[in-house]
Structure 1
Amino acid sequence: MRFVKHPDSYRVRVATAEDAPLLLSLLREFAEYQGLGQYMRATEPRLREALAAQPPMLRGALVEGPDGVVGFASYTVDFMPWVDSRVLRLDDLYVRQSARGLGLGLALMRHLAEVGSAEGVSVRWEMYPDNDSARAFYKRLGATSGEKTVFRWAPEVMREFLKE
């Protein structure tokens, strides 16, 4: 499988705490792209802290090209008692529209596969059910999907629940 159409022009690198402003910008761009900008709560200081923590609370990979950073993946490594193992949880994967079709999403997934393989963990992620292009992309990688539904419990909703 070919990963990057112009391998000399692009590289994937690990995000550091110094990349917090750049990562925040990309996260906001991705949230707007998904129509979810109003839900984005990330802040630069918190991202910097999460990336710098030991062990990291947040990890990231950035794709750099001739025009700067054009994509990212953000992820965590957590313990799942159900499988009695740590797992790499991909949170977001995004490549700017201008850089799509160059194999950069594949390059980011390759980075995740390298991290997962090196740490002996599987990789898990969520996606919106109506995102057919993402589903096809992940299936081409050999990934399988489950039937689990993900629920979210926002802090303000929990506070209301606790008042009852």
Structure 2
Amino acid sequence: MTKKVDLLTSGVDAAIRSTTLLGPNTYAVTVGPALDMTIVASDDYLAKWGTPNHPCDILDHDTICYAFGSGEDLAPWGYNGPEGTYTIQPKPRMVANDMRSLLSYAKQGLGLGYLYREIALPHLSAGGLTEVLIGHVTQLPCYSLNYRSKRNMTRRLRAFVDMAKAPREAA
């Protein structure tokens, strides 16, 4: 199972994380935008099993979940609700450790897939794949570059942090 690296004791200078996890004497710089998520399924799957109308409905569906590390730690599916954001962890039919495989399994009709919307968008436009629970799925926070104390920072790490802080130019 993948574990959070302790920047103070591991000898690692920096880590890029999907959430900002600050410990004592550590800092973070946001790198990148918030990430839009989506839930998708093939049109064939939805015709056979129906379209979920509420996040709780996913518990009655086959799902394809993203797994970290050895596959025991699954990414939770995040939703917006009246009380704020919450997660529901469906029981997976399949597990994938990369988003493109997860998308492929969803396109093959093996279940609902929860993935980055940017990856799904071209396939949604092409047809055969449908977004479900639009408006319910929450964004993931921005990635951040977490690093140790600013004191005694190596020049190489300082350059990397400065690069991460620099405004992005349009490509």
TM-score strictly above 0.5:
no
Q: TM-score, normalised by structure 1?
A: 0.28
Highest relative contact order (Cα 8 Å, sep 6+), 1 or 2?
Answer: 2
Q: Which has more helix, going by share of residues? A: 1
Q: Which has more strand, going by share of residues? A: 2
Q: TM-score, normalised by structure 2?
A: 0.28
